Amino acid sequence: MPSDYSAQELATIALIDKQLDAYNARDIEAFVATYHDEIEVFTLVGGLQYQGKEILKAKYAAKFAGLKYLHATSLTRIVHGQYLVDHELAESASEDENNIDRSVKVIAAYEVEHGLIRRVTFMG
């Protein structure tokens, strides 16, 4: 990591990396542990999609269980204080883990509050 990151920025990066690692491992408990109890999930066009860790857990638990393969990678990252914006590539396979049948690029903007992800907005 470049030395010009603040302690807050390093903590923000570490949290989002932890969340991404848990997502890739399909570890629902570790994944939801990175989120605030009152997490708000938005889409740029649609606004607030849902709020609360229990809804987040239910949605992602179903996603994790329903796929044979799931992996997301940060392609480009911008961090400023408690804000982090990732351009991510997400790939998944629904039938055969060796046959990726969905690949999407998305921008995810995260806001960290008290060491947890408080808001995320998906674009694209």
- Give 13-69 pLDDT, tens digit per residue: 999 999 999 999 999 999 999 999 999 999 999 999 999 999 999 999 999 999 999
Prediction pTM value: 0.93
**Distance, CA of 51 to chain centre:** 15
Q: What is the mean pLDDT of residues 83-101?
A: 94
Per-residue confidence (pLDDT) for residue 1, from 0 to 100: 52
Domains of the chain: 7-123 (3.10.450.50)
What's the CA gap between 112 and 93, in Å, rounded? 30
In degrees rounded to 5, what are phi and psi of residue 99? -130, 90
